[in-house]
Structure 1
Amino acid sequence: MALCLSTLHFSAYAAGNVTIYPQNQTIKNIDRLADLVTQPSLVNAWWPGAVISERKATATEEQQHQKLLANLAGFAAEEDGDDAAAINGVRQQMQAIHVTGRQFVDLDPDWVRVHPRANVPLQGDYSLWAGSQPTTITLMGLVSSPGTKPFVAGRSVDEYLDGIDKLSGADRSFAWVIYPDGKTQKAPVAYWNNRHVELTPGSILFVGFKERLFNSDFNDLNQQILNSLTHRRPD
Structure 2
Amino acid sequence: MKILAILCCGLSLVSGLAAESNADQVKTEQAVDYTFVPTAVNIDINTRSYTFETKPRLAEVLAPIALEQDWYWPGSKLYRLDNPDGQVSAPEQLRSTVLQQLHAFSMSAEPAVQIELMALRYQVASWTLATRVLIPINYDLARAQAAFNPRFDAGAYKLQLVERPEQVHFWGAVTQRVTIPHGGATAIADYMAAIERSAAADGSTVYVIQPDGTVTKAGVASWNRQHIEAMPGAEVFIPFATEWFGVDIDSLNQNLLALALYRVAQ
User: Which bin holds the TM-score, normalised by the shorter protein?
Assistant: 0.7 to 0.9
Aligned to 2:5: none
State whether structure 2 residue 167 is matched by structure 1 residue 136: yes
Q: Hey, what does 2:256 align to over in structure 1?
A: 225
Residue 163 of structure 1: how far off its partner (Å): 4.0
Deviations 1:110-162 (A, max 9, x none): 22222223322222111111122211111101123422221121222111111
Higher helix share: 2
- How many aligned positions are there? 223
Could you list the per-position Cα deviations for residues 70-118 of structure 1 after superposition, in whole angstroms to 9, with x for gaps in the alignment?
A: 3212221233323323322332343343222110011111222222233
1:27 aligns with 2:57: no
Question: Unpaired segments of 5 or more residues in structure 2?
Answer: 1-35
8 Å CA contact 1:182, 1:231 repeated in 2: no
Partners of 1:93 and 1:191 lie apart in 2 by: 31
CA distance, structure 1, for counterparts of residue 150 and residue 113 of structure 2: 46
Unaligned segments of structure 1, at least 5 residues: 1-10
Q: Give the residue type in structure 2 aligned to 1:46.
A: Y
1:6 alignment partner in structure 2: none
2:189 to 142, 149, 158: 158
Secondary structure of the 1:138 match is strand
Highest Rg: 1 or 2?
2
TM-score (norm 2): 0.75
Out of 238, 251, 254, which is 1:207 matched to? 238
SS at match of 2:49: strand
Matched residues in 1 for 2:65 and 2:132: separation?
23
Q: How much is the aligned-residue C-alpha RMSD, in angstroms?
A: 2.4
The answer to whether the Cα contact below 8 Å between 2:208 and 2:218 also exists between their aligned partners in 1 is: yes
Q: Secondary structure at the match of 1:27?
A: strand
Aligned counterpart in structure 1 of residue 64 of structure 2, from 17, 39, 45: 39
1:170-209 matches, within 5 Å, as: 170-209=201-240
Q: Scaled by the length of structure 1, what TM-score is found?
A: 0.84
Counterparts of 1:191 and 1:41, CA distance in 2? 44
C-alpha distance in 1, partners of 2:165/2:207? 19
SS in structure 2 at match of 1:125: strand
CA contact (8 A) 1:51 1:234 kept: no
Contact 1:179–1:204 under 8 Å retained in 2: yes
Q: Which amino acid aligns with 1:55?
A: L
Q: Structure 1 residues 213 and 148, CA, compared in 2 at 3 Å: closer, same or farther?
A: closer
Q: Secondary structure at the match of 1:40?
A: coil
2:95 alignment counterpart:
65
The reply to whether residue 75 of structure 1 matches residue 105 of structure 2 is yes
Q: Encode CA deviations 1:166-191: one digit per residue, 9 max, x unaligned.
A: 21221011011111000011110111
